Amino acid sequence: MDDPGEVSRTRVRRRVAPATAVLAALALVIGLASCLPGSDPPPASPPPPQPPDSFTTDAGFVAFGDFGGGPHQDDVAAAMTTWASSHRVDALVTTGDNVYPSGEPSLFAADLVDPYEALLETRPLWVTLGNHDVLGGYGYEQLTFLGLPALPYAKTLDGIQFLFLDANHPDDAQAAWLDARLAEPGPPFRVVVFHQPAYSCGPHGSTDAVVDHWVPVLEEHRVALVLTGHDHLYERFASADGVTYVVTGAGGKSLYEERDPCDDASIEQAAAVQYHFVAGELAGHELTIRAVAENGEVLDETIIER
């Protein structure tokens, strides 16, 4: 079930309202200023990203999934570009299904580069592979095109380590690799990224093989954040041991509805059926995670402490 059709319902249990009044006032000031004699017209595009020294955060990233060639890919990409003009973004991270329908190399530039061109001028793109990325047998070619090693692999920002797995084949070998990496000295915040989710109330649902092979390792090491996709919506789960699991699979392709009832509803903290990306910002011992809609609205926010 890979395209149940477009839906637009949004349900969020923990939600942060957008600063509508502030944005409206700012728009008014800009509009008035543009009418003064000798005033230049307001800029037609977002301002360029601020230099890192202007931020109080230590590191930042945006994450998104299930986007390649989707009808809303450009809208989500534009929202990320706008976000990066006022928030720290050091890397772009994907949760897979980057190139539809079968990961064809002829679509790499159009799906992986062109919509994010402005962001990628100064930032890397780190990806995991989804089922569509490997459907045609081109997973290795996609990683090579992006200058990335074979899965699993690790990348690091200041204070954050990203560990990328291949959930098309959840197995003990990758569990051993993950366990070894997490046992090594490293940053306080470890973020594990793969496609098929451990927990989801979407149509695909939770992935038994991931729960069997990888969740025990994630829980034992109390990983800060797990980023996945596959179901085309936003969900956030929290385990009893303090591991946050996020499904971010609404980066451009048609949206999915949640299932009701859902076996994992007891640990689900928030959900939204809306196009979005996830933004992470690290400041000291706090990693703030926000789900941001294509119109800039913050759908959900949580703070992870380590």
Per-residue pLDDT of 1-10, as tens digits, reads 454 444 334 4
Residue, of 264 and 275, whose pLDDT is higher: 275
224 assigned to some structural domain: yes
Q: How confident is the model at residue 11 (pLDDT cuts 50, 70, 90)?
A: very low
Q: What span, in angstroms and rounded, lies between the C-alpha atoms of 287 and 283?
A: 6
3 assigned to some structural domain: no
Residue, of 83 and 32, whose pLDDT is higher: 83
pLDDT of residue 9: 40
Q: What span, in angstroms and rounded, lies between the C-alpha atoms of 98 and 95?
A: 8
Question: DSSP class of residue 32?
Answer: H
Tell me if 269 sits within 8 A of 13, measured CB to CB.
yes
Tell me if 193 sits within 8 A of 210, measured CB to CB.
no
Question: Considering its fold, how many domains does the chain have in total?
Answer: 1
Mean confidence (pLDDT) of the chain: 87
Q: How confident is the model at residue 14 (pLDDT cuts 50, 70, 90)?
A: very low
Tell me if 81 sits within 8 A of 46, measured CB to CB.
yes
Question: DSSP class of residue 230?
Answer: S
pLDDT of residue 17: 38
Q: Please report, rounded to a whole number, the percentage of residues in the chain having pLDDT higher than 70.
A: 82
Tell me if 130 sits within 8 A of 103, measured CB to CB.
no
257 assigned to some structural domain: yes
37 assigned to some structural domain: no
Taking alpha carbons only, the member of 237, 240, 165 closest to residue 201 is: 237
Q: For residue range 47-78, what is the model confidence (pLDDT) as tens digits?
A: 455 544 556 789 999 999 999 999 999 999 99
292 assigned to some structural domain: yes
pLDDT of residue 244: 98
14 assigned to some structural domain: no
251 assigned to some structural domain: yes
**Boundaries of domain holding 206:** 54-305
Taking residue 19's Cβ as centre, other Cβ atoms within 10 Å add up to 13
Q: For the domain that residue 75 is a member of, what is the CATH number?
A: 3.60.21.10
16 assigned to some structural domain: no
48: helix, strand or coil:
coil
Specify the pTM: 0.84
